[in-house]
Copies of this chain bind each other. A is one copy, B any other.
């Protein structure tokens, strides 16, 4: 079994982004909107900040107290849209309940929507002609690219149908000509689907949902889920698959580090588009 090493790959990509970013005069800038005091959000934001610092991007945190009027946040996002020094804007989720997530996400201009969660990006994703691809889905594609895993004609099963991960990942695999199945909590006989998958992508957040009996021999396993118990991190896939699968992303060190890294990559893409720089790819 070959480990799909997201930690290593993300370090490699970060170094590439760093070299790329340092080749321009103006520094790329990512702005993050945080509303309230969610502790997990603060940890995620801190990781994003550190990643930006590492690659030489500027990072701007705009922190609003829970209770700030939504109009005030909208006004701020609009001013960030107009500010030419800012290349990417994200609203850290989840928001406190009283805020209209859709309104805030859709205030971000499509050119700066580096999380890919606004309507414009979502519609383009669905149409098969993406603007910015949501970061976890994009991170999974990067893993496929790096390890030369071709999806065409493959049976890809995605377990989990979230708007943030499951659906975007399924659509991107479909775009790469995989035959895609999407399973979820209401699926009956889950293993009937997972057992047939050449590539199994699991994003449910249910610890060890998938075990060795549920996978095909030599399957490629992408484990997106993370559950923390007593300080230990568990994925959605039981380690007893290790002798049966051909490739697997570990937890931690698989998809997780790729996600933050893709935010940098999307911000770099935004920067280049905004500055009329052609990408070599």
Contacts and interface: CB of A to CB of B under 8 A. Distances in A.
Interface residues of A, number: 29
Contacts of A128: 163
Contacts of A174: 161, 182, 184
- Main DSSP-derived SS at the A contact region: mixed
A72 to B, nearest CB: 24
A127 B120 CA distance: 12
Contacts of A123: 118-120, 122-123, 126
Nearest to A186: B177
A181 interface: yes
A122 B126 CA distance: 7
Interface in A176-190: 177, 179-184, 186-188
A179 B177 contact: no
Contact of A187 (B120, B179, B183, B187): B179
A152 interface: yes
A167 interface: yes
Contacts of A215: none
Given A119-B119, A123-B122, A123-B126, A180 B182 contact: yes
A181 B179 CA distance: 7
A94 interface: no
Contacts of A163: 126-128
A125 interface: yes
A123 B119 CA distance: 5
A183 B152 CA distance: 12
B153 A179 contact: no
A150 B182 CA distance: 18
A64 B182 CA distance: 42
Interface string A60-86: 000000000000000000000000000
Nearest to A153: B188
Given A126-B167, A163-B126, A181 B180 contact: yes
Contacts of A182: 174, 179-181
Contacts of A180: 181-182
11 contacts: A118-B123, A119-B119, A119-B122, A122-B123, A122-B126, A123-B126, A125-B126, A126-B163, A126-B167, A153-B187, A179-B181
Interface of A: 118-120, 122-128, 152-153, 161, 163, 167, 174, 177, 179-184, 186-188, 192-193, 196
